[in-house]
Amino acid sequence: MKCARYVAEFLAREGAAHVFEMAGGAIAHLLDAVHEHPALTAVSMHHEQAAAFAAEGYARSLAGEAEPKRLGAAMATSGPGALNLLTGIGSCYFDSVPCLFLTGQVNTYEYKFDEPVRQNGFQETDIVRVAAPLVKHAELVADASRIRYALEKAAYVARSGRPGPVLLDLPMDVQRAEIEPDSLESYYESEEYRAAEAEAARLEAGLEEAVGRTLERLRRSSRPLVLAGGGVRSAGAVPALREWLERAGLPAAASLMGLDALPSDAPPSEAPSSAAPPTDAPPSAAPSSAALPSDAQPSGGSPAGGPPILGLIGTYGHRYANLAVANCDLLLALGTRLDTRQTGTNPRLFAREAKLVHVDIDAVELGRKIAPAVAAHGDVGSFLRRLLARWPAEGADAAAWEPWKAALRKYRESLPTGGPGFAASGPIDPNRFMERLGGWAGEDDIVCLDVGQHQMWASQSFPLGGKRRMLNAGGMGAMGFGLPAAIGAALANPGRRVIVIAGDGGIQVNVQELETLARLRLPIRVVVLNNRSLGMVRQFQDTNFQGRLGSTVHGYGCPDLIAVARAYGLPAWRIGCWEEADPALGALFAEEGPSFAEVAIDPRADVRPKLGVGKPPEDMDPPLDRQLLRSLMIAKPADDLVF
C-alpha cells in the first residue's frame, strides 16, 4: 500500500471524516489519497489558518457528551503552508482541543536535518521545532515503516490526559513510499503505551480520596459554588456535571470555556423560542435602582426553584456571578486553570473566604495561583461520576444552602448585565440583541464566536442550555476564528444549524471563507456586529490613552459587508434599529443554506461591566454605589482588608 493511502485509511478509522486543507505540492500525495477514500471528504479552504480553525471547530463541536474524543484533522504543504497552521494549532493547544495536523515536507534526501544551512530544499521549514511549544507531540516521520506507530501515538496523545494538538511532518518520498501494513510496528503494543496507560490508571485510583475530602468540605459549607471550566467539555463530563448539579441543588458559574457545560440559565417558562422572539418591552425598573449604574438596572426574570445558574465570571463576567465568587465559602473549580481573566490581577482577592477544591488533569495547574484545600489530579469526568455515586453524602444538609441560594437569586434579579433595553430608533444595545438573537435560535444550534466585544456580549447574554453549544476561542483569542470554526462544526454535525457571531474586524481576517461557506451550502447564519472599529482595543484606548484611537478607529476601515456577502452569493440583510431586527432575523433564519446579516452597533458601545486592574472581582466598572456594594457582601468587603 502507498503510505499516503495508509494515512487516509487511518484517518477514516479514527472518525476524522472531513480533512481540512489548502492544496500545495508537498501534500499532493496526501490530497490524492484523501480524495480517493470513500469515507473521507477533503474540504478545501482558502487559507491554512482557516483550515486549522475548521479542524478545531470540528473537534470542539463534538466534545463534551461522552468518550471517545473525536479528532479534527487538517493538512498543509511545507514552508508557508505549515507555518500558516500555527495560529490554529496554538488555539487547540491552549484550549485543549484534540486535533491531528499533517504537514508536507521536502524529500528526505533534500532535507537539511542537522546541516548548518538555512534551507536546502524549496519551501523546506523545520516545522517540528517551530511548532514544538504549541503541540503535545510533533514528529518528522523520516521512515515510512514508522507510519503506523507515529499515527497511533499521535492520536493517542491528542486524546489522552489534557487533550491537545499533535503534528506529523511527512516528507514527500515517505508519502509515496510503498509499505506492508501487516508488518508495521504498533504503538499500542509498545512499552511507551503501557507506561502511559499505567500512569492514567494511577491517577484514576487517586481520585477516590479527593472525592471523600470534597464531600467532607461540602458537609461543612454553607455557601458552596461550583465553577465549571473548559475541562468539563474536554473530559466528556457535561451529562455528569448537569446531573450532579440538579441532584445536589448546587449553584454554579462558569469560565468562558465552560459556559455551555452548564444547564439552562432560564426556567422552561422563560426559555427562548425561535417561534416566539422577545417583545420590545424594556426591562422594568425597581424602586432600588437609583444607586445602580446604567448596566445594572433591575429586570427580574431570575430563575427560581432549581440550582441558581449564574453564567460567566471574571473580567467581562456578570456582576452577580462575581459576587457569588466573592461571597462563597467553598469553591469547586472543575477543569479550569483559574487564569487572570477569571481571578482578576490580584488573586488574593478572588474567593478570598473560600476553601478551594481544584480538579484538573494537568498537575501543573493545581495550586499555581491559589493554594487549594483539596487538589484532585485527574480526569474531571471520573471525579464527577464518583461524586454522583456517593451522593447524597452522609451528613450533607442541602437545606442549609437555601439562604445562600436565595441570596444568589437576589443578586441576579437586581444586577442584570447590559444596557437599558429596546428603542425603536438609534443604536441597538448589544446585550439585548444577543437575547433577541437567542430567541430566534433553535434548541440545538451551535454558536461560534469570533474574538472581540461581540464575543463578550454573546458570552454574557446569549441564552444557553439544553443542546445549544457555544464555541469560544479562549487562550489564543484569535480574530478570524468564528467563520472557519463554524464550517468545521457544521460538517461535524449534519442537520444542526450553526450561528457565527463576529465583529466587523474579525470577519475580515478570514472573510475569504465565505466562498467555502457558499460553495458547500452549509446551514450557517453569519451575524456581524458592525461598530466600524476594533472595539475591544478602542475601549482599552478610551480608558488608558485619553481617547487616542490609533489603528482602531483612525487608520481602520471596513468595506460594505452586505455587498461583500452578496458577491460571494449569500443572501444578506442589514439591521439598523430594533424595528428592523425581527423581519431581518426572520428572513435570515428562514434560509435553508447560508445567510448573512449585519447589525449596526454604536461605535462607542462598551462591554460592561468590566473588572479593572487590581480590583476585587465583585467591584466592576462602572462602580456600584459603595453602600450598596457593602450591603451585598457576605464576605468581608475588600475595602476592609489589609495585606
Instruction: Sketch out the chain's domains with CATH numbers.
Output: 3-189 (3.40.50.970), 203-264+296-417+610-636 (3.40.50.1220), 430-600 (3.40.50.970)
Task: Report yes or no: 499 and 445 within 8 Å, Cβ to Cβ.
Answer: yes
Q: Answer yes or no: is pLDDT of 619 > 90.
A: yes
Mean pLDDT, rounded, for 143-159: 98
Question: How many angstroms separate the CA atoms of 144 and 180, rounded?
Answer: 10
Tell which phi-psi region holds residue 447, choosing left (phi > 0), alpha (psi between -120 and 50) or beta: beta
Residues composing the chain: 643
Provide the whole-model pTM: 0.93
Question: How many angstroms separate the CA atoms of 642 and 627, rounded?
Answer: 20
Grid cell listed for 162? 489534557
- pLDDT over 90, % of the chain: 85
Mean pLDDT, rounded, for 141-150: 98
Between 26 and 285, whose confidence is greater? 26
Kindly report, residue by residue over 199-217, the tens digit of the pLDDT: 999 999 889 999 999 999 9
Give whole-number Cα distances, 601 to 346, 532, 558, 574, in Å.
33, 8, 14, 11
Q: How confident is the model at residue 420 (pLDDT cuts 50, 70, 90)?
A: low
Q: Answer yes or no: is pLDDT of 468 > 80.
A: yes
Question: How many angstroms separate the CA atoms of 59 and 53, rounded?
Answer: 10
Report pLDDT for 504: 98
Question: How many angstroms separate the CA atoms of 88 and 485, rounded?
Answer: 10
Question: How many angstroms separate the CA atoms of 7 and 69, rounded?
Answer: 19
Q: Answer yes or no: is pLDDT of 23 > 90.
A: yes
Q: Answer yes or no: is pLDDT of 424 > 90.
A: no
Give whole-number Cα distances, 420 to 203, 297, 416, in Å.
50, 7, 10
Q: How confident is the model at residue 401 (pLDDT cuts 50, 70, 90)?
A: very high
Q: How confident is the model at residue 465 (pLDDT cuts 50, 70, 90)?
A: confident
Q: How confident is the model at residue 288 (pLDDT cuts 50, 70, 90)?
A: very low
Please name the helix (run of DSSP H) or strand (run of DSSP E) that holds residue 332, with its range, or none: strand 330-334
User: Distance from first CA to last CA of the chain, Å, rounded?
Assistant: 68
Q: Answer yes or no: is pLDDT of 285 > 60.
A: no
Report pLDDT for 64: 80
- Give start and end residues of each alpha helix (H) in 160-190: 172-175
Grid cell listed for 604? 462607542
Who contacts 536 (Cβ-Cβ below 8 Å, separation ≥6)? 452, 453, 456, 607
Report pLDDT for 422: 62
459549607: which residue's cell? 221
Q: Answer yes or no: is pLDDT of 219 > 70.
A: yes
Question: How many angstroms separate the CA atoms of 311 and 450, rounded?
Answer: 19
Who contacts 44 (Cβ-Cβ below 8 Å, separation ≥6)? 21, 22, 23, 516
Grid cell listed for 57? 471547530
Report pLDDT for 419: 64
Kindly report, residue by residue over 315-329, the tens digit of the pLDDT: 999 999 999 999 999
Average pLDDT of the chain, as a whole number: 91
Report pLDDT for 396: 77
Q: Answer yes or no: is pLDDT of 569 > 90.
A: yes
Q: Radius of gyration (Cα) for the chain, nearest Å? A: 25
Omega before 239 within 30 of 0, i.e. cis: no
Q: Which range in 253-267, 277-291, 590-604 is most confidently predicted, on average pLDDT?
A: 590-604
Report pLDDT for 302: 38
Kindly report, residue by residue over 290-303, the tens digit of the pLDDT: 344 555 543 333 34
Question: How many angstroms separate the CA atoms of 128 and 146, rounded?
Answer: 17
444586577: which residue's cell? 415
Report pLDDT for 533: 96
